[in-house]
Amino acid sequence: MINVLLVDDHQLIRSGIRRLLEASGDIQVVGEADSGEQALVRVRELNPDVVLMDIHMPGIGGLEATRKLLHHHPHVKVISLSVQRQDPYPEQLLTAGASGYLTKDCGAEEFILAIRKVYGGERYLDAELARGMALSRMPGGKTPGGITDLSQREMQVMMMVVQGHSIQDISDKLFISPKTVNTYRYRLFEKLAVNNDVELTRLAMRHGLIDVNAG
């Protein structure tokens, strides 16, 4: 069972996320906090595996709370939550040690998948955010590997491939046929000048889109 602490200053949001997670069967919410300060106390008391940390809260806020939490509890995984993908904080939070970044409008399956991934030692970003990060890192908005030239759907397929999803799993989650998934894969190989999934994963690692220590 994966033990999760919810940190958000809105009770309604915490209640909604709790219901989503507890329907998963392998995730339990062991506690809640409504501020960064309270989160630090609750982590000491409850020793959760994963903390879902809202970024925008009164007091020290999610960024500083993440830094303090991971300084004292480096084994805890933090997934940062924001109301929008264009937030200025993703890079700072990942640098501070957060293992993932989600928007609050993501679906239940993505919440659950992200928690399972970071609990297993991987990093989790949604595809649009990953593309934006790659774009922001390069002068003129171009990367040597051409990642910023990918369409949103190509980026979705790429992120799912490098996060270890099977062709059938990608097909089911994106509601496209396995044949179409493979078409996207080979298009990615051509656009990014790689030959296989391993090289694609290495490229994603070089751009910071997945953790170099994952897997």
> Is 81 within a domain?
yes
Q: State percent of the chain over pLDDT 70.
A: 84
> Is 213 within a domain?
no
The reported pLDDT for the residue numbered 134 is 58
Q: What is the pLDDT of residues 24-39, one digit of tens each?
A: 999 999 999 999 999 9
Return the closest-CA partner of residue 59 out of 7, 101, 6: 7
Domain-terminating residue out of 125, 140, 162? 125
For the residues 42-47, what does the mean pLDDT come to? 96
The reported pLDDT for the residue numbered 131 is 61
Are 16 and 94 in the same domain? yes
In angstroms, rounded to a whole number, what is the distance separating the alpha carbons of residues 158 and 164?
10
Are 119 and 26 in the same domain? yes
Return the closest-CA partner of residue 30 out of 20, 40, 41, 43: 43
Residue 138's CATH number: 1.10.10.10
Domain-terminating residue out of 85, 103, 125? 125
For residue 110, name the pLDDT band (cuts at 50, 70, 90): confident
Residue 53: beta bridge partners? 7, 80
The reported pLDDT for the residue numbered 162 is 87
**In which domain, by residue range, is 154 found?**
130-206
The reported pLDDT for the residue numbered 133 is 62
> Is 212 within a domain?
no
Q: What is the pLDDT of residues 116-165, one digit of tens each?
A: 989 999 888 876 666 666 555 544 444 445 676 777 788 889 888 988 88
Residue 107's CATH number: 3.40.50.2300
Are 18 and 108 in the same domain? yes
For residues 41 and 5, the answer to whether their CB atoms sit within 8 Å is no
As for how many domains the chain has, the answer is 2
What HEC string does the chain produce?
CEEEEEECCCHHHHHHHHHHHHCCCCEEEEEEECCHHHHHHHHHHHCCCEEEEECCCCCCHHHHHHHHHHHHCCCCEEEEEECCCCCCCHHHHHHCCCCEEEECCCCHHHHHHHHHHHHCCCCEECHHHHHHHHHHCCHHHCCCCCHHHCCHHHHHHHHHHHCCCCHHHHHHHHCCCHHHHHHHHHHHHHHHCCCCHHHHHHHHHHCCCCCCCCC
